[in-house]
Amino acid sequence: MYFALTDEQRALAETVRDYLADRFDLTAVRAVFEDAAGDGHPAELWKAFGEQGWLAALVPEDNDGLGLGLVDAQVLARAFGAGAVPGPWLPTVLAGEAVRLAGSAAQRAAVLGPLAAGELVATVALRAPGGAFDASGVGVTAGADARLTGTASPVEYPAAARVVVVAATEPDGGVGLYLVEPTGPGVTVTAHESYDGTTRLGALTLAGAAAERLPGSSAAVLADLNRRGAVLAAADLVGIARSTLTRTVEYDKTRVQFGRAVGSFQAIKHALADLHVAVLMAEHAALYAAHAVDLALPDAELAVAVAKAKAGDAAERATGAMIQYHGGIGYTWEHEAHFFYKRAKRLLGSFGDVGQHLDRIAAPGAVLATAAVRQAQRAQRVQTSRGGTRLSAPP
Amino acid sequence: MDLTFTPQEEKFRSELRGWLDANIPETWKDLRFWRGISDDEGFELRRDWERRKYEAGFAGIAWPTEYGGRGGTPGMKAIYDEEMALARAPQSANGLGLTFLAPTVMAIGTDQQKRDIIGPMLRNDVIWCQGFSEPGAGSDLAALRTSGVLDGDEYVVNGQKIWTTNAMHGDKLFTLVRTEPGSQAHRGISMLLIDMHQPGVETRPLRQISGASEFGEVFFTDARVKASDCLGGIGNGWKTAMLLLSFERGASGISQYTNYRRGYDEIAAAARKLGRDTDPTLRRELASRLVELECLRYHAMHVLTQVEQGRDLGSESSITKLQWSEAYQKLFETFDHLLGLDGVVAAPVDGLDLASLQFEAFWTRSVTIWGGSSQVQRNIVAERVLGLPR
């Protein structure tokens, strides 16, 4: 039994932390946050992402990547969340995953190498405004000639991306994933004003735009991609939650009111203790979900829903607590609390919000599984000896 | 990450499972069986069963063989905890002794104490009770007043203990006693090992909100105990008690998960039978209970990893306790939400006998109090983990 990060994974987290402390602290985040008209994509930072291999984690070694797993990627996502780091890391990595999972050899060669090296910014456009993060929420349709029409929004960094992975409903009712160049004819990128200045969001509108299909794509691959997105978003949220809790604890150790450190009052102590437990559980859940997806464990789907729901809840509470337990100063624009609060708000909704994931857990055959299904799960668990329990009913 | 057990550990699992399959009567798996017999009968059944389990080699799983244990790995202990819960094995008759007293004796007991205490405990020849809480010393344990006055080579003990598990069935009591007259707080306390079968010791059951009596009261009126029957030395009782309580960290998370997960499945099944499984609010509530239970399972793997790596768990047990007790209690609040008014009727609801779950729902009110209340645990987490000032 080894449920923990390896020494290498811990070192990776430390490398990111050290780099951010030296080169991209919250003052640098503020510059990006407040420059609403800017591209939100600092060139120096992105160069470092490429040089350090932070974009190569999930790219196979055959495509000049590091061939690591989602457990390693969630280490990175967690560290970026802790630093409220701007830039198109998550959408680029996820676009790479789409190509890795469903692309042809030629597509993989064309996209993954440059992507791993930091030479290619990419993004994903998987849902219509208001849509769910699954096949039902796709707002783009593909014609018989593979031309795409429809809208996806919000899309992260659509203006910076040179390639977009677009989910589209196909004439046969299935779902395919397509590569689209955002500067091509029939493609319009509209920037959104966003409250979260640690990213840039926009809408992608397609009117008969030319696209290249990823031949291995399907509704199942879209579901897989959304699962991976949910795990990385959960990890970012976990990083936000831990970072905001730590900052709040440090502040409340020294902030004096009524002649004592406010952190000595039980009303605050108990709230922060409960948060620590919640954040720790969210950390476990993100780690487990990443591992479950990496190994395709029988309970991977449940694990992802648990992780996203738990991380979203922990981050929402922790960022709210950061404002509350800093008192008035936490509510000011000058304070950094709102970077985390707004980033968490965005990620809470990304790849399914808490309610959506709870509904998934409660879906027929899942939580309400019959005793017979549970028995089968138990037998399977013993067989695999993974310690996981399968939740979704067998097809 | 590697969430597998070793082949040796899995072999242990199948041996244990085989034995449990052959040695737990089907009737025992229904809680109604236990509630249909007297407290004394139930206790004797459990006591005999546990003795047979010991004779089959399934006791003291991770204890050294020199103490009659199996010399197993922490992984085997986790497997044991899980399998016992899966098989619905009876609750241990000697749980407090096995979990707390035995490892303390192994760590700091005299050679004589090691010989006299551990073997008879494993064989269930001696049932141990814990005498810590008093009417005026609950969360504030150091306020205890039970006194011991030296008379020759014996202490004469007077006072009262409360919330004593198995008080009506116990043979001996590891007891915190103020042996230095006039001492305050943590000083002047000793852990005395008192024989309960003597005229100066009287026990009474405590009736709980569920109607059952897992706990009792113990009254000492000039009870006598040899000064040599002291664990950890006279005046060192507080230190001994803290060491003893630290053994809770063995992390029972996996057995809690397995038990509560079954409760969850039964509640979900009841929701289906009662046609409430389509209620969107209840569905989300149930799902969020499962989220907390799954987190408990991950946490149990985390703790087991720390134990296997030989890391100091620090105040981890407070985190574990908060997670399982709060998740368990909330799960049964959802059960109450499911039943509504029907929940206060003991008769079957729509032909569904839910008495065992209703009974368990009352029990969950106790788990956030005993073993360190949630409020005490939050103080520990805030001060010792987060470093907030006292």
Query: Domain boundary at B93, B109, B141, which?
Result: B93
Query: Domain boundary at B93, B110, B136, which?
Result: B93
pLDDT value at residue B269:
93
Q: Does A390 touch chain B (CB under 8 A)?
A: no
H-helix or E-strand containing A3?
none
Q: Does residue B347 belong to any structural domain of this protein? A: yes
- The reply to whether B303 and B272 lie within a common domain is yes
Residue B154's DSSP bridge partners are B151, B226
Helices (H), B37-108: 39-55, 74-86, 95-96, 102-108
Residues from chain B contacting residue A249 (CB–CB below 8 Å): 386-388
Q: Does A385 touch chain B (CB under 8 A)?
A: yes
Q: What is the pLDDT along chain A (395 residues), one digit of tens a residue?
A: 999 999 999 999 999 999 999 999 999 999 999 999 999 999 999 999 999 999 999 999 999 999 999 999 999 999 999 999 999 999 999 999 999 999 999 999 999 999 999 999 999 999 999 999 999 999 999 998 989 999 999 999 999 999 999 999 999 999 999 999 999 999 999 999 999 999 999 999 999 999 999 999 999 999 999 999 999 999 999 999 999 999 999 999 999 999 999 999 999 999 999 999 999 999 999 999 999 999 999 999 999 999 999 999 999 999 999 999 999 999 999 999 999 999 999 999 999 999 999 999 998 655 434 333 444 444 444 443 333 333 333 32
What is the fold of A220-361?
Butyryl-CoA Dehydrogenase, subunit A; domain 3 (1.20.140)
Whether B386 sits inside 8 A of A386 (CB atoms) is no
Three-state secondary-structure class, residue B255:
helix
Alpha carbons B192 and B342: distance in angstroms, whole number: 48
pLDDT value at residue A74:
98
pLDDT value at residue B251:
56
pLDDT, tens digit, 9 for 90 and up, residues B76-115: 999 999 999 999 999 999 999 999 999 999 999 999 999 9
Picking from A266, A359, A374, the nearest residue to B284 by CB comes out as: A359
Distances (CA, A) of A23 to A68, A83, A85, A200, A340: 25, 11, 11, 21, 19
- Test the A interface: residue of B321, B338, B388 with most A CBs within 10 Å: B388
Residues from chain B contacting residue A281 (CB–CB below 8 Å): 292, 295-296, 298-299, 323
Whether B305 sits inside 8 A of A382 (CB atoms) is no
pLDDT value at residue B314:
74
Query: Domain boundary at B178, B206, B235, which?
Result: B235
Q: How far is CA B274 from the centre of its chain?
A: 34
Alpha carbons B133 and B127: distance in angstroms, whole number: 19
Whether B294 sits inside 8 A of A269 (CB atoms) is no
Instruction: Report whether B218 contacts B131 (CB < 8 A).
Output: yes
Name which of A277, A275, A274, A302 is nearest A358 in CA terms.
A302
How close B284 comes to chain A (CA, Å)? 6
pTM over 0.80: yes
Long-range contact pairs involving B309-314 (C-beta distance under 8 Å, separation at least 24): B309/A4, B313/B249, B313/B251, B314/B384, B314/B385
Domain span at B222: 128-235
Residue ranges of A 343-372 with Cβ closer than 8 A to chain B = 355, 358-359, 361-362, 367-371
Distances (CA, A) of A223 to A154, A226, A352: 18, 5, 12
Instruction: Report whether B208 contacts B366 (CB < 8 A).
Output: yes
- Test the B interface: residue of A277, A354, A359 with most B CBs within 10 Å: A277
DSSP state of A192: P
Picking from A4, A374, A385, the nearest residue to B5 by CB comes out as: A385
Whether B287 sits inside 8 A of A288 (CB atoms) is no
H-helix or E-strand containing B228?
none
Residue ranges of A 70-89 with Cβ closer than 8 A to chain B = 71
Whichever domain contains B366, its CATH number is 1.20.140.10
- The reply to whether B370 and B270 lie within a common domain is yes
Mind telling me the catalytic residues of B? 248
Whether A274 sits inside 8 A of B75 (CB atoms) is no
- Test the A interface: residue of B380, B386, B390 with most A CBs within 10 Å: B386
- Tokens 């569920």 -> residue: B210
Q: Does A393 touch chain B (CB under 8 A)?
A: no
Whether A367 sits inside 8 A of B308 (CB atoms) is no
Domain ranges (residues) in chain A: 220-361, 362-395
Structure tokens at B3: 């969430």
Whether B388 sits inside 8 A of A252 (CB atoms) is yes
Residue ranges of A 12-41 with Cβ closer than 8 A to chain B = none
Q: Does residue B114 belong to any structural domain of this protein? A: no
- Number of domains making up chain B: 3
pLDDT value at residue A388:
32
pLDDT value at residue B214:
87
Q: Does A220 touch chain B (CB under 8 A)?
A: no
Picking from A3, A281, A358, the nearest residue to B288 by CB comes out as: A358
Residue type at position A38:
G
Residues from chain A contacting residue B381 (CB–CB below 8 Å): 273, 276-277
Picking from B290, B296, B377, the nearest residue to A367 by CB comes out as: B290
Q: How many CB pairs under 8 A join A and B?
A: 159
Alpha carbons A311 and A352: distance in angstroms, whole number: 12
pLDDT value at residue A382:
40
Residue of B nearest to A381 (CA): B4
Instruction: Report whether B272 contacts B282 (CB < 8 A).
Output: no
Distances (CA, A) of A40 to A156, A202, A320, B224: 11, 12, 25, 78
Residues from chain A contacting residue B2 (CB–CB below 8 Å): 1-2
Q: Which residues contact A321 (CB under 8 A, 6 or more apart)?
A: A244, A245, A248, A271, A272, A275
Three-state secondary-structure class, residue A167:
strand
Q: Does residue B100 belong to any structural domain of this protein? A: no
Three-state secondary-structure class, residue B17:
helix
Residue of A nearest to B5 (CA): A1
Instruction: Report whether A80 contacts A198 (CB < 8 A).
Output: no
pLDDT value at residue B249:
58
Instruction: Report whether A391 contacts A303 (CB < 8 A).
Output: no
Alpha carbons A71 and A43: distance in angstroms, whole number: 27
Q: What one-character-per-residue DSSP string does B266-311 give?
A: HHHHHHHHTT-TT-HHHHHHHHHHHHHHHHHHHHHHHHHHHHHTT-
Q: What is the pLDDT along chain B (390 residues), one digit of tens a residue?
A: 999 999 999 999 999 999 999 999 999 988 889 889 998 999 999 999 999 999 999 999 999 999 999 999 999 999 999 999 999 999 999 999 999 999 999 999 999 999 999 999 999 999 999 999 999 999 999 999 999 999 999 999 999 999 999 999 999 999 999 999 999 999 999 999 999 999 999 999 999 999 888 899 999 999 999 999 999 999 999 999 999 988 875 556 898 999 999 999 999 999 999 999 999 999 999 999 999 999 999 999 999 999 999 987 778 889 999 999 999 999 999 999 999 998 888 888 888 889 999 999 999 999 999 989 999 999 999 999 999 999
Residues in chain A: 395
Alpha carbons B313 and B106: distance in angstroms, whole number: 20
- The reply to whether B381 and B277 lie within a common domain is yes
- Based on the number of CB atoms within 10 Å of its own CB, is A330 exposed (0-12), middle (13-18) or buried (19 or more)? buried
pLDDT, tens digit, 9 for 90 and up, residues B114-144: 999 999 999 999 999 999 999 999 999 999 9
Whether B323 sits inside 8 A of A277 (CB atoms) is yes
Whether B265 sits inside 8 A of A369 (CB atoms) is yes
Q: Which residues contact B10 (CB under 8 A, 6 or more apart)?
A: A385
Q: Which residues contact B181 (CB under 8 A, 6 or more apart)?
A: B147, B149, B188
Q: Does residue B374 belong to any structural domain of this protein? A: yes
Residues from chain A contacting residue B295 (CB–CB below 8 Å): 281-282, 284-285, 306, 310
Residue of B nearest to A246 (CA): B386
Picking from A260, A268, A306, the nearest residue to B294 by CB comes out as: A306
Q: Does A170 touch chain B (CB under 8 A)?
A: no
Whichever domain contains B15, its CATH number is 1.10.540.10
Q: What is the mean pLDDT of chain B?
A: 94
Whether the link from the prior residue into A154 is cis, omega within 30° of 0, is: yes
Instruction: Report whether A99 contacts A108 (CB < 8 A).
Output: yes
Q: In this structure, are strands B189-195 and B172-178 parallel, antiparallel, or unpaired?
A: antiparallel
